[in-house]
Amino acid sequence: MSWLGLFLLVAFLVVALGANVLAPFDPILPVDAINIPPWTEMPIPRNESYTAWMGNWSAVASGQQVDGIGMNSTSPGDVEELLSFPLDVKRDAVVSVAIQVLILGNGTAPGQFLAVEASKDSGVTWFPPRQVRTVDRFENIDLTGLTAWHASDLTRTALRIRIAHGSDAGIGNLTVDYLGATAEWKSYWHLMGSDAIGRDVFSRVLYGTRTSLIIMIIAVSTAFIVGFPIGLYSGYRGGNFDKTLVLVMDSLYSFPGLLFAGLIAVLLGKGVLNIALAITVIYIPLYFRVTRSQVLSVREELYVEAARALGAKRIHIIWRYVALNVIIAVPVIFSLSAADAILTAAGLSYLGLGLSGDLPDWGLDLSAGAIQIDNGIWWASFFPGLAIVLLTIGLSFLGEGLNDIINPLLKKERS
């Protein structure tokens, strides 16, 4: 059992240290379309209208949606350049590119038509114009075969569409109800899928390992540094000083851990260090109680009595004779409290009291993904939750194994 726990802990430590190398994507920035399932390469269709324009057409903003109004031109030869299409193509695996146009019949005179041309280099060069004469029906102008399309050709700055008012019957009205660019591209292959923002779940789980281990190490180490010496001194000295400390520590220990840590987190604020310190407070009484209980028996041993009889100073006896015989019980408590610290940190983030923003964190991702489970999007919360379970089990197994090694009598009883 201890070997399995040690293996899991070492594996998570390797992941935390090597997250920069192991993670295939940036854990904070959106790298793909949203909610892509694990082990899948999906076709991603996009249809977006322009968000900027320049030219001499009127009511150009009305051509951004199908609403029966549209942008208008009354003079043949009027030109409008449409810019900034938010297609947001993430990968150079473009399957198709097209322009969709809808000319409004009741706002267009007979003999009027639309000439459409596109550019993929910010207007430096243009593809040959296409004429659109159909009214009240979407016309799809396929651009796929004109060139080899890349993601860089479909950015807001690169892709431009220019329309011109053409006429076979002189002056007349021409109304375009909608004009948009469409693109379809294949997503990346994701081991654990993508989340509701388009971030790679696998990369966030890897970096979240680092976040969780940092919080755990700070919290448990600080609790040990504070609780162990206080427990040593209090247990050895005894008297009213010991009774007062026991009363204080028992009062702190009586609070539910997550609730107490949440209260402190509210006072300290969010952040890795603040959350670690908030968790530290709930484990100081644990180290104090365990250390003190060991000291109460060790201080009555003959070697301690002999050192005291020889005139050794109290501080010398505590650190030379008592501490070295008490600290053997600490590794078990350290590993078990570390497992609980992982759960507490994840719980605080899940409740919105821990970390915030885009920082990779298992609790945050578990909370964000939980609201999508009813929609069949299970992976965004499953994999962070699985990581929490595995690390917690590993630390618990390690603690139980150390307990069997340190307490051979208990091991014999169990066998």
pTM of the model: 0.85
Q: How far apart are CA 379 and CA 385, in angstroms?
A: 10
More confident of the two residues 64 and 413? 64
Q: What is the sign of the dihedral through the CA atoms of 144, 150, 154 and 159?
A: negative
Which of 171, 186, 201 is where one domain is finished?
186
Query: Do 164 and 249 have their domain in common?
Result: no
Query: Do 261 and 337 have their domain in common?
Result: yes
Residue 29 domain flag: no
Q: How far apart are CA 320 and CA 324, in angstroms?
A: 7
Residue 411 has pLDDT above 70, yes or no: no
Mean pLDDT, the chain, whole residue set: 91
267-306 burial, b if ≥16 CB within 10 A, otherwise e? eeebebebbbbbbbbbbbbbbbbbbbebbeebbeeeebee
Q: How far apart are CA 388 and CA 361, in angstroms?
A: 10
Amino acid at 305: E
Q: How far apart are CA 330 and CA 336, in angstroms?
A: 10
Sorted by sequence, the CB contacts under 8 Å of residue 247 that are 6+ apart come out as none
Residue 36 domain flag: no
Number of domains in the chain: 2
Query: pLDDT tens digits, residue range 64-92?
Result: 999 999 999 999 999 999 999 999 999 99
Are the C-beta atoms of residues 48 and 181 closer than 8 Å to each other?
yes
Residues in the chain: 415
Residue 241 domain flag: yes
Which of 140, 163, 186 is where one domain is finished?
186
* pLDDT (average), residues 361-370: 93
Query: Do 360 and 400 have their domain in common?
Result: yes
Q: How far apart are CA 8 and CA 231, in angstroms?
A: 31
Query: Do 49 and 140 have their domain in common?
Result: yes
DSSP string for residues in 8-61: HHHHHHHHHHTHHHH-SS-SSS--S-TTPPTTB--EEEEEEE-SEEEES-BSGG
Query: Do 111 and 175 have their domain in common?
Result: yes
Are the C-beta atoms of residues 406 and 329 closer than 8 Å to each other?
yes
In sequence order, the β-bridge partners of residue 28 are none
Range of the domain at 163: 43-186
Query: pLDDT tens digits, residue range 227-255?
Result: 999 999 999 888 899 899 999 998 888 88
Query: Do 367 and 260 have their domain in common?
Result: yes
Closest CA to 334 of 399, 284, 258, 261: 399
Residue 321: pLDDT band by 50, 70, 90 thresholds? confident
Residue 357 has pLDDT above 80, yes or no: no
Residue 25 domain flag: no
* pLDDT score for 407: 66
112-119 and 174-186 beta bridge pairing: unpaired
112-119 and 130-132 beta bridge pairing: antiparallel
DSSP string for residues in 129-184: PEEE--BSS-EEEE-GGGS---GGGGSTTT-EEEEEEEESSSS--EEEEEEEEEEE
Query: Do 107 and 9 have their domain in common?
Result: no
CATH code (residue 327): 1.10.3720.10
* pLDDT score for 25: 95
Locate 70 and state its tokens. 């549209």
Residue 28 domain flag: no
Query: Do 239 and 294 have their domain in common?
Result: yes
Which of 135, 152, 186 is where one domain is finished?
186
For residue 331, the tally of other CB atoms under 10 A from its CB is 15
More confident of the two residues 11 and 315? 11
Residue 27 domain flag: no
Residue 276 domain flag: yes
Query: Do 66 and 161 have their domain in common?
Result: yes
Query: Do 358 and 405 have their domain in common?
Result: yes
* pLDDT score for 1: 63
DSSP string for residues in 270-282: SSHHHHHHHHHHH
* pLDDT score for 408: 61
Q: How far apart are CA 251 and CA 273, in angstroms?
A: 25
Query: pLDDT tens digits, residue range 83-133?
Result: 999 999 999 999 999 999 999 999 999 999 999 999 999 999 999 999 999
State percent of the chain over pLDDT 70.
97
Residue 32 domain flag: no
Query: pLDDT tens digits, residue range 28-60?
Result: 999 999 999 999 999 999 999 999 999 999 999
Residue 351 has pLDDT above 70, yes or no: yes
Are the C-beta atoms of residues 392 and 216 closer than 8 Å to each other?
no
CATH code (residue 57): 2.60.120.260
More confident of the two residues 1 and 360? 360
* pLDDT (average), residues 317-322: 85
* pLDDT score for 80: 97
* pLDDT score for 159: 97
Query: Do 12 and 101 have their domain in common?
Result: no
Q: What is the sign of the dihedral through the CA atoms of 235, 236, 240 and 241?
A: negative
Query: Do 200 and 173 have their domain in common?
Result: no
